[in-house]
């Protein structure tokens, strides 16, 4: 006997499949569906609210983590002074007996000393001399060395070395005698042996000003500004790194033979301590 036949034989009229039972069941189904939809909508709203809150928090965190001001490119003053190999400072005394003087406690160079003599030349470049600060020795061919272990001595060394490196007949000797020992010096000497000196004396620059960028007892960095010899050409900044080694300031270069801080062009001489010649021309 089927389910339908059993219901009829018992005379039942209120079963699930009866008209009244169908209405009740349909009502319950509709109510259940509506409740389910309401719960689903509530969950969706709550999820949206949470998502918006998370997005707002993430945006705020992003703004806090990303300052509005852009970081400027590193400057020469921010580049650390050239590191020294083990054994430095070496404690060596001046090769020609120059004393470190009272300036041993100073780390700045604020003005050219009144006693600065500008009558000397390295090639065609006028170079500074200060008695007691250097150069302590000037040889017959114009090679100049022995500078005091002081800020003034470091500035004088950088200016004189720069001029000699712009003088073709002094380049080889300047590298051999004033460069710090190391791979960089050997790289430069190898390059000179292979290519020779390629400078053109007619295009030498003039020392227009200096800035002592950094200094301690055995290291220094000096920015030497050069102007072109004629009315055309760019002003340049030659950054000279120095290390006190074997009784004098020595030029430090990278292992590739290039300056620690590359040379660059200048738009003006603002910030430099000008030479008398640059002041007269300005």
**Confidence (pLDDT) at 1:** 35
Give domain status of residue 30, yes or no: no
- Measured in degrees and rounded to the nearest 5, phi and psi for residue 279 equal -65, -40
Coil, helix or strand at residue 243 = strand
pLDDT at 282 (0 to 100): 61
C-beta separation of 135 from 156 below 8 A: yes
Q: What is the mean pLDDT of residues 222-227?
A: 96
Could you tell me which residue, 187 or 203, shows the higher pLDDT?
187
Domain extent, residue 145, equals 112-281
Burial of 223 (0-12, 13-18, 19+ CB in 10 A): buried
On whether residue 92 sits in a domain, the answer given is no
Q: Count how many domains the chain has.
A: 1
The pTM score is 0.71
Q: What is the pLDDT of residues 201-220, one digit of tens each?
A: 444 689 999 999 999 889 99
Position 124 confidence tier, pLDDT thresholds 50, 70, 90: confident
**CATH number of 139's domain:** 3.10.450
Tell me how far CA of residue 148 lies from CA of 74, 141, 177, 231, 272, in angstroms: 30, 22, 16, 35, 22
Determine if residue 87 is left, alpha or beta; phi over 0 gives left, psi from -120 to 50 gives alpha, anything else beta. Answer: left
Question: Does residue 97 lie within any of the structural domains?
Answer: no
Whole-number Å distance between alpha carbons of 136 and 60:
64
Q: How confident is the model at residue 18 (pLDDT cuts 50, 70, 90)?
A: very low
Report pLDDT digits (tens) over 24-58: 333 333 334 333 444 443 443 344 344 444 434 43
Is 36 a domain residue? no
* 28 within a domain of the structure (yes/no): no
Structure token pair of residue 120: 């000397």
Domain-embedded: residue 176: yes
């Amino acid at each position: 006997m089927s389910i339908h036949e059993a219901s009829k034989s018992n005379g039942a009229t209120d079963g699930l499949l009866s008209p009244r039972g169908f209405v009740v069941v349909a009502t319950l189904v509709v109510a259940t569906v509506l409740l389910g939809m309401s719960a689903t909508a509530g969950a969706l709203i709550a999820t949206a609210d949470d998502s918006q809150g998370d997005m707002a928090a993430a945006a705020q965190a992003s703004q806090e983590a990303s300052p509005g001001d852009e970081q400027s490119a590193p400057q020469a003053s921010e580049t650390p002074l050239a590191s020294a190999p083990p054994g430095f400072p070496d404690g060596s005394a001046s090769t020609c007996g120059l004393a470190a003087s009272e300036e041993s406690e100073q780390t700045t160079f604020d003005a050219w000393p009144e006693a600065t003599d500008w009558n000397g030349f390295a090639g065609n470049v006028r170079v500074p001399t200060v008695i007691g600060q250097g150069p302590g020795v000037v040889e017959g061919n114009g090679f100049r060395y022995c500078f005091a272990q002081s800020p003034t001595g470091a500035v004088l060394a950088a200016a004189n070395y720069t001029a000699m490196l712009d003088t073709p007949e002094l380049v080889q000797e300047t590298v051999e005698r004033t460069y710090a020992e190391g791979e960089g010096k050997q790289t430069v000497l190898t390059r000179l042996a292979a290519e020779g000196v390629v400078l053109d004396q007619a295009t030498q620059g003039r020392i227009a000003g200096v800035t002592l960028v950094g200094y301690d007892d055995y290291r220094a960095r000096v920015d030497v500004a050069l102007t072109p010899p004629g009315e055309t050409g760019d002003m340049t900044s030659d950054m000279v790194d120095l290390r006190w080694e074997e009784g004098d300031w020595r030029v430090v270069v990278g292992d590739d033979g290039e300056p620690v801080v590359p040379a660059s062009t200048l738009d003006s001489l603002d910030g430099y301590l000008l030479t008398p010649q640059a002041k007269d021309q300005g």
